[in-house]
Amino acid sequence: MKAEDEWWRGCVIYQVYPRSFQDTTGDGVGDLAGVTRRLAYIASLGVDVVWLSPFFKSPMADMGYDVEDFCAVDPMFGTMDDFDRLIAEAHRLGLKVIIDQVLSHVSERHAWFVESRRDRTNPKADWFVWAEPKKDGTPPNNWLSVFGGSAWEWDGTRRQYFLHNFLASQPDLNFHNADVQDAVLETVRFWLERGVDGFRLDAVNYYFHDRRLRDNPPLKRRLGNDVPETNPYGYQDHVHDKSQPENIAFLRRFRALLKEYGAHAAVGEVGDGDRSLKTVAEYTAGSDLLQMCYTFDLLGPEFSAKHLRKCIEGFETTVRDGWVCWSLSNHDVPRHATRLTKNNGDPDRTARFAILLLAALRGSICFYQGEELGLEEAEIAFEDLRDPYGIRFWPAFKGRDGCRTPMVWKHDGHNAGFTTGKPWLPIPAGHAAAAVDLQEDDGTSVLAWYRRVLATRRVSPALRIGALRFLSSGTDVLLFERRSGDEAILCAFNFSDDEARVRRPAGADKVFLAVGGHSIGTKTLTLAGRSAVMVRTV
C-alpha cells in the first residue's frame, strides 16, 4: 500500500460542530457556508482532516444525531450545493473531510420508521427492533437508555415496544435484517460519491443487539468514563444491548465499500466500559475492518501519568493491527482546559500541556474546535439548555451544552463574530478575551503554541508514526521515547504540581518544545510542576 493511501495513520483531525462554528445567515446557527468561510483558518492550524458533526436533515431533538434523511442537508445548515463547495474548497487547501455517520438509529420522523410503525406486515416492519411486552405490560427486558429510563418505548399502533438506546425519538435500526444493512450502506455510498474522504462512525458498537433480548446483568464494579455517575445506565454490564459479535461482518461490508472508492478511512467511536480496548482490537483487526477507533479513556476526569500509561500500554498490548485516535475533548464532554485543570491552576497551561501530550502519542489525534484557543467550559443556565441529556439529569449533570457554545472570532465583534443574530447558545463573556483575532497577533498565545506543536509533529516521522517505548520515571511523570529510523525524541510530562527529576538518557540535551520550567543537568532532567519537554536524543 502506498504511503499516501494511509493518510489517516498519524493524521491530525479537527472536529467542527457546524451549528457553533460560523453563522452566515444571521439566524444564530452555524452553517456549512460558515465552515467553508473558515477553512483557511483550519488549514492554518496545521491539521490534515476536518471532521464535520451531523448536518443532515433532522428535527434536532438531539442536535442532528437524530437523522430524518441520511442523504439530505438540513435547511438549517444550507444546501447540498453548500456541501459540495465545502468539499471542493477543503480539497483545494489540502484538507481531507470526514463526516459523522449516525447509523445505529434514526429519527422517529425518518420515512423508514414511519412505515415500520404503521403495522406488523409492511415491507419495513422488521427494520427496527420491535418486541412484545411482558404479560404485565412492562418492557421485554431491563435494558436502559443512555439518556435515562428504559431503552424501550411503547407504540400504541403496533402494540409493541421498540428499542432506543438514546432518546425515545431515536429508534434503533435492526441490523440483523440484511435489507437494513443494504439500505444503510447505500447512504454511505451517497456521500462517497459526493467526495468525502472518510467517516466518523457514531456509537459504532451499538449496531447490533442480542436476538434473544436477554437481561443485562448488574455491573460488579462502577465505571466512571462512559456516563456520569448520576445516570443508572452505569449500573448495568451491557453485554447484550451492544458490542455483539455480528457487528464484525457488517464492518467488513462497510470497509469493502470504502475500498471501492480508493484511499478512504473510517474511525469508530467505541464506548464499551472496561471492554473498550478489546472491542477496538476486534474492530480494527486485519485489513478488512476499520482503520482506527477511539475510546472514552482520555475523555473523563482522570489525568495522571499512571492513567495515561495504563491507557497507552493497554492499547499497545491489546490492539495488534489497529490504530488509535486519541482525543481529550469533543462535543460530548466538558472542555479539558476546565476538566483537567487542578486546584485553581492555569487553564492556559493545561491547554499547552495537553496538545504537547497529544502530539507525543503514537496514533492519530483529534482536537475539538476552540481547544486551540484554550476555551474553558461554559456555565449554561437551565433556561438556556438545549441538550436533552442535560435537561433530563439537571442539576446533578448539567449536560453537554457547556462545550458547544459558539466559536469566538472577534473579541470586539457582535456575538464575537459568530452571528449577527441571537446565537443558539449564549456566548460566555470570558470567551471573547480568547478570540481568534487577539491570538492571531500574539506569538505567545495558545493558538500560536498549537500551530508550533502541530507543525513540529507534521515533519517528524518519530512523532507521527514512530514506535513508543516507556522509560522508568517517578510516579507522576510520564517518560517515553518516540523513534523512527534515525530520529529519536524523549518526551517527559510532569503531571504533579511539584518539581520532578528523571534520569536523562545520554544525548538527550536538545530541548525543542517545552511547557513550563525545566533544566538539564549532567545526568538528570528537572521539570517544574505541570511542565513538559520534548528533547531530541540523536
Q: Hey, which residues are catalytic here? A: 202, 260
Phi, psi of 44 (to 5 degrees): -65, -15
Question: Which amino acid belongs to residue 236?
Answer: Q
Cα separation of 404 and 209, whole Å? 31
**Residue 227 Cα to chain centre, angstroms:** 15
Of 354, 325, 361, the C-alpha closest to 339 is 354
Q: Are residues 127 and 114 in contact, defined by beta-carbon separation less than 8 angstroms?
A: no
Could you tell me if 171 and 160 are in contact, meaning their C-beta atoms sit under 8 angstroms apart? no
Q: Give the span between the Cα atoms of 67 and 61, in whole angstroms.
A: 10
For residue 536, what are the CA distances in angstroms to 41, 68, 86, 400, 491?
Answer: 30, 52, 39, 40, 9
C-alpha cell at 215: 437481561
Q: Are 175 and 206 in contact (CB under 8 A)?
A: no
Region of 478 (left: φ > 0; alpha: ψ -120 to 50; beta: rest) is: beta
d(CA 386, CA 275): 32
CA distances from 236 to 142, 231, 452 (A): 9, 11, 44
Residue 357 host element (H or E): helix 347-360
Cell of 168: 425515545
Alpha-carbon 124 to chain mean position:
32
Measured between alpha carbons, how far is residue 34 from residues 22, 27, 74, 321, 456 in Å? 5, 12, 14, 38, 29
Residue with cell 456509537: 203
Nearest CA among 256, 219, 216, 270 for reference residue 104:
270
